Amino acid sequence: MAGVGIRERGALLLGRGAGEAVRRLGRGGGTALPGLVAGRLAPGLLEACASQLGHGLITVTGTNGKTTTSHLISAAARIAGLHPLHNRSGSNLERGVISTFVGEVDGTGTMPGAADRLGVIELDEAVWPRLLPSLRPRVAVFLNLFRDQLDRYGEVDSVAEGWQRALAAYPFLTTLVLNVDDPSVAALAEGNAAREVIGFGIEDVGVALDGAEHASDARFCVCGATYRYDAVYMGHVGVWRCDACGRARPTPVVSARNIRLGTDSTTFELVVGREVTEVTIPLAGLYSVYNALAAAAGAHALGLPLEATTRALAESGPAFGRQERFALDGRMVRVLLAKNPTGLNEVIRTLLALPDDATLLALLNDGIQDGQDVSWIYDADLERLAEREFRLIVSGDRADDLALRCAVAGLEPRMVERDIAFALNAAIAATPVGGRIEIIATYTAMMAIRGMLATRTGAQPYWESTE
Amino acid sequence: MTSEMPRTIRVVTLYPEVMDVYADRGNLLAVQARCRALGVGVEVIAIGLGDALPSEADLVLIGGGQDREQRRIAPDLAAKGSALRAWADSGTAMLAVCGGFQLFGNFYRTGAGEELPGVGLFDVTTVAPAPGMPRCIGDMLAQSEVPGVGELVGFENHGGRTYLGPQGQPFARVQHGFGNNGDDGTEGAVYREAIGTYLHGSVLPKNPALLDRLILAALRHRYGAEATIERSRDEYAERAHRAAAEVARRKGRPNS
């Protein structure tokens, strides 16, 4: 099909004009506005654009790791000679996805070079069911399901139900890529016997936690009994089984063995089927291993060569605002996104590997994208930081709530300051030249401070970045 | 009771492994941190499904859960009803939040018309919202009806609508937010030293007057009516309280 109908063409024109106007006015990337405008005017536009992709489309969804995983899949596709179409700015709601496509087609709705193109689309977990019929992915990656923004999603259970219902209603999706260590994700294989399922997971009990963490969301099997764990890697993710009904973690096709966690990188043996490759990724933390495995399994499902995947994992660096590093005034500054209890627990585990002389700048905002309810900070195990001597500065719109949470955990912030720019300067002043500043931030706080870091260090703003 | 003698309260947390989806464990953390500052020891007994209650408790805490979790615990909790009511009558302090509050009432009627039995400690009943009715979600600001507790702040997120029966006493009056049902301006319920509320946040860390009231009630239950606690300010708690109140005034649904 060349191009789209007249209604879609008009919508395209107006949508692109709106995005351009936002950029000219210097109001940011204008990444969502074209989609908002075009989606309103022509609901069929997304399907008309997505259907042109010669190599089809892969979706990535789940609570944590969407942006990093899709960033890695996109890198592997590029190394393999494809031209990925990727909503890389983390614009993963309906209008952001439509904007991505609007930016890639001409005025007649035709996508130039569509034959070489592969869609790599990260989707918000609640949006995934809604966009499934328009995007018609070949492969769908499901990462994990943790409590996150309960003010927006209602309850954790309803997200999994939405995935299952959509899968039942749309039989065209061929391959499911599932995290077998997360029982609520692994359960998606049930009732989908006609689909190919590729499982990924960790095969190294040496990196397991001592016990279940507080923020654990899937304690009960669908049969009603309580899961047993031989190993817990994070939250409710691990080597699980149900003694009552016999359900158990399936053996993964793609896995990581012999994991060595460093402060800034991670090394492990990547197993894909019968092939084993030693990989070092420039990202810290066990959660980064899960993202790498999800990307490797997604790339495997797409039929990309393993060589392209391992190169992408080793070479393609962090995604926007996810462990990005900046050199600022002689200090190393790293940005760690944390927007829910499990994510924050994983960041804390990563920080515990650092020497005591690091400065922590913790930012809590309560915008719609952060979660307007800040209760979740009580579900994360901040108490674990109390055994260390980090310099702590607390900032963001809800700095006072975060400071109180820290005090309850036995931590004494050096400064509580709502203004993020002011707090960043204080963090620099408190850190000796050559030292580290670790910024832990919710989504909008990350966007704000990343903008400041980009400006001060001359790094490119994200809508101009070529990855 | 001389101040040199070490004092300890026994805190019973009900189903912390199940009714914890909404960060209500912050309430236990706040009790522990405040008691540490006051020099009061805290013995914590966690009660899971099927566990027997101890013979005595000075403070009982229960949090919120999803429908699935509430359905799981309801029969077990109802079986403990007479013991919990006897504790409340003896002056045990209690804090029941959201789903826990609903199950401390007479019953919860689900969307399918099924009635989950409650403890019957508060004279309240809760009904699932009619199809299409939104959940009550947002920042809340309320004035407590309990002397000395004053202004309350927190965040609510519940589908069920709760209505006070003839014996039911509201815990607070809503200024911004929904409270029990979004209609009558009441929030939560109170019976002797037991408090039911929809406030998360977690509620105790940033409402220090409520936290101190519960700790004092627990101490009095253990050591008699003359027990006191040192009045001392918590700068962090007061600042977080003021910040949350500001947010609720700006963003919370006004209640006229």
Strand arrangement of the beta sheet that strand A391-395 belongs to: A324-328, A331-337, A436-441, A359-363, A391-395, A415-417
Span A4-38, pLDDT tens digits? 677 777 777 667 666 666 565 555 555 666 666 66
Answer whether CATH 3.30.450.40 is correct for domain B7-251.
Answer: no
From the list A156, A341, A401, which residue is nearest B243 (CB)? Answer: A401
Please identify among residues 287-346 of chain A the ones whose CB lies closer than 8 Å to any CB of chain B.
Answer: 341
Where along chain B do its domains lie? 7-251
pLDDT value at position A26? 53
Which one from B35, B98, B221, B241 is the annotated catalytic residue?
Answer: B98
Show residues of chain A in contact with B24, CB under 8 Å: 378
Span B183-227, pLDDT tens digits? 999 999 999 999 999 999 999 999 999 999 999 999 999 999 999
CATH 3.40.1190.10 in chain A, residues? 6-315
Record: contact A219-B18, CB cut-off 8 A? yes
pLDDT value at position A83? 96
Span A368-427, pLDDT tens digits? 888 899 999 999 999 999 999 999 999 999 999 999 999 999 999 999 999 999 999 999
Q: Shortest Cα distance from A65 to chain B (angstroms)? A: 21
pLDDT value at position A154? 55
A392 in contact with chain B, both atoms CB, cutoff 8 A:
no
Overall residue count recorded for chain B in this entry: 256
B220 in contact with chain A, both atoms CB, cutoff 8 A:
no
Which one from B158, B176, B200, B221 is the annotated catalytic residue?
Answer: B200
pLDDT at B2 over 80: no
CATH code for the part of the protein at A324-464: 3.90.190.20
Residue A248: pLDDT band (50, 70, 90) is: very high
Query: Which single residue is written with the structure tokens 């063995």?
Result: A257
Q: Which of A84-88, A125-129, B53-57, B172-176 has the lowest mean pLDDT?
A: A84-88
Query: Which single residue is written with the structure tokens 């002797």?
Result: B192
Record: contact A378-B242, CB cut-off 8 A? no
Residue A305: pLDDT band (50, 70, 90) is: very high
d(CA A25, CA B225): 67
B200 catalytic residue (yes or no) = yes
pLDDT at A465 over 70: no
DSSP lists the bridge partners of residue B140 as B154
pLDDT value at position A464? 39
pLDDT at B8 over 60: yes
A454 in contact with chain B, both atoms CB, cutoff 8 A:
no
Q: Shortest Cα distance from A158 to chain B (angstroms)? A: 10
For B127, the 3-state DSSP assignment is strand
State whether the Cα torsion A123-A124-A127-A128 is positive or negative: positive
Span A331-356, pLDDT tens digits? 999 999 998 998 999 999 999 989 88
The string over A113-139, giving b where at least 16 C-beta atoms fall within 10 Å of a residue's C-beta and e elsewhere, is ebeebbbbbbbbbbbbbebbebbbbbb
DSSP lists the bridge partners of residue A449 as none
Give yes or no for a contact between B178 and B157, defined as CB atoms under 8 angstroms apart.
no
From the list B26, B66, B244, which residue is nearest A378 (CB)? Answer: B26
Q: Which of A31-45, A217-231, A238-252, A445-459 has the lowest mean pLDDT?
A: A31-45
Question: How many CA atoms lie less than 13 Å away from A180 in the CB half-sphere?
Answer: 21
CATH 3.90.190.20 in chain A, residues? 324-464
Which of B15, B18, B22, B110 would best serve as a mutation to test chain A binding (most A beta carbons within 10 A)?
Answer: B22
Record: contact B20-A214, CB cut-off 8 A? yes
- ipTM of the assembly? 0.95
Nearest Cα neighbor of B119 from B163, B68, B84, B73 is: B84
pLDDT at A113 over 50: yes
pLDDT value at position B102? 96
Record: contact B137-A398, CB cut-off 8 A? no
Provide the CATH topology of domain A6-315. Answer: UDP-N-acetylmuramoyl-L-alanine:D-glutamate ligase (3.40.1190)
Phi, psi angle pair for B163, to nearest 5°: -125, 135
Span B82-134, pLDDT tens digits? 999 999 999 999 999 999 999 999 999 988 888 989 999 999 999 999 888 99
